[in-house]
Structure 1
Amino acid sequence: MKLFDVYPLYDVTPVSAKGIEVWDDKGQKYWDFYGGHAVISIGHTHPHYVKRIKDQLDKIAFYSNSIQNPIQEALAEKLGQLSSCEEYDLFMCNSGAEANENALKMASFHTGKSKVIAFNNSFHGRTSAAVAATDNPSINAPINKQQAVTFLPLNDFEAFEKAIASDAYCAVILEAIQGVGGLDEPTTEFYQFIAEKCKKHQVVLIADEVQSGYGRSGKFFAFQHHGIQPDIISIAKGMGNGFPVGGVLIHETFKPSYGLLGTTFGGNHLACAASLAVLEVLESEGLTKNADELGAYFREKAQDIPEIKNVKGRGLMIGLEFDFEVADLRKKLIYDQHIFTGSAKNKKLLRFLPALNITKEHVDLFFDALQNALK
Structure 2
Amino acid sequence: MPLFNVYPLYNVTPVSAKGAYVYDENNTEYLDLYGGHAVISIGHAHPRYVEAITNQVSKLGFYSNAIQNPLQVELANKLEALSGCKDYELFLCNSGAEANENALKLASFQTNKSRVIAFKNGFHGRTSAAVAATDNKAIIAPINAQQKVTILDLNDLEAVKTELEKGDVCAVIVEFIQGVGGLDQATANFFEQVDLLCKANNTLFIADEVQSGYGRSGKFFAFQYYNVTPDIISIAKGMGNGFPIGGILIHPNIKAKFGMLGTTFGGNHLACAAGLAVLNVIEDEFLIDNVKVISEYFIKIAETIPQIKQIKGKGLMIGLEFDFEVSELRKKLIYDHHIFTGGASNKKLLRILPPLNINKGHINQFFEALVEALDE
Match of 1:216 in 2: 216
Match of 1:60 in 2: 60
User: In structure 2, what is the Cα distance between the partners aligned to 1:295 and 1:226?
Assistant: 19
Q: Give the secondary structure class of the aligned counterpart of 1:58.
A: helix
Match of 1:180 in 2: 180
Q: Residues 40-63 of structure 1, C-alpha deviation per residue, up to 9 Å, x if partnerless?
A: 000000000000000101110000
Match of 2:197 in 1: 197
Q: Residues 309-335 of structure 1, C-alpha deviation per residue, up to 9 Å, x if partnerless?
A: 000000000010000000000000000
Q: Give the secondary structure class of the aligned counterpart of 1:249.
A: strand
Q: Which runs of 4+ in 1 moved over 3 A?
A: none
Correspondence 1:134-213 to 2 at 5 A: 134-213=134-213
Match of 2:9 in 1: 9
Q: Which amino acid aligns with 1:271?
A: A
User: In structure 1, what is the Cα distance between the partners aligned to 2:165 and 2:187?
Assistant: 21
RMSD across aligned positions (CA): 0.6
Q: Residues 184-218 of structure 1, C-alpha deviation per residue, up to 9 Å, x if partnerless?
A: 01111100010010011010000000000000000
User: In structure 2, what is the Cα distance between the partners aligned to 1:57 and 1:165?
Assistant: 51
Q: Which amino acid aligns with 2:202?
A: Q
Give the structure-2-normalised TM-score: 0.99
Correspondence 1:295-374 to 2 at 5 A: 295-374=295-374
User: In structure 2, what is the Cα distance between the partners aligned to 1:88 and 1:261?
Assistant: 16
Match of 1:274 in 2: 274
Match of 2:83 in 1: 83
Q: Residues 31-82 of structure 1, C-alpha deviation per residue, up to 9 Å, x if partnerless?
A: 0000000000000000000000001011100000000000000000000000
Task: Give the drift of 1:168.
Answer: 1.2
Match of 1:45 in 2: 45
Aligned sequence identity (%): 65
Q: Which amino acid aligns with 1:320?
A: L
After TM superposition, the structure 1 stretch with the greater mean CA deviation from structure 2, 293-302 or 262-271, is: 293-302
Q: Residues 120-171 of structure 1, C-alpha deviation per residue, up to 9 Å, x if partnerless?
A: 0000000100000000000000000000100000011121111111111000
Q: Which amino acid aligns with 1:263?
A: T
Q: Give the secondary structure class of the aligned counterpart of 1:31.
A: strand
Match of 1:70 in 2: 70
User: In structure 2, what is the Cα distance between the partners aligned to 1:73 and 1:82?
Assistant: 14
Residue segments in structure 2 that go unaligned for 5+ positions in a row? none
Q: Which amino acid aligns with 1:217?
A: S
Q: Which amino acid aligns with 2:175?
A: E
> How many correspondences in the alignment?
375
User: In structure 1, what is the Cα distance between the partners aligned to 2:326 and 2:298?
Assistant: 19
User: In structure 1, what is the Cα distance between the partners aligned to 2:170 and 2:293?
Assistant: 38
Match of 1:245 in 2: 245
Q: Which amino acid aligns with 2:173?
A: I
Residue segments in structure 1 that go unaligned for 5+ positions in a row? none
Task: Give the drift of 1:346.
Answer: 0.2
Q: Which amino acid aligns with 2:186?
A: P
Q: Which amino acid aligns with 1:146?
A: Q
User: In structure 2, what is the Cα distance between the partners aligned to 1:373 and 1:42?
Assistant: 28
Match of 1:103 in 2: 103
Q: Which amino acid aligns with 1:179?
A: G
Q: Which amino acid aligns with 1:36?
A: G
User: In structure 2, what is the Cα distance between the partners aligned to 1:70 and 1:95?
Assistant: 21
Q: Residues 250-290 of structure 1, C-alpha deviation per residue, up to 9 Å, x if partnerless?
A: 11111101101000000000000000000000000111111
Give the structure-1-normalised TM-score: 0.99
User: In structure 1, what is the Cα distance between the partners aligned to 2:288 and 2:173?
Assistant: 24
User: In structure 2, what is the Cα distance between the partners aligned to 1:248 and 1:215?
Assistant: 16
Task: Give the drift of 1:86.
Answer: 2.0
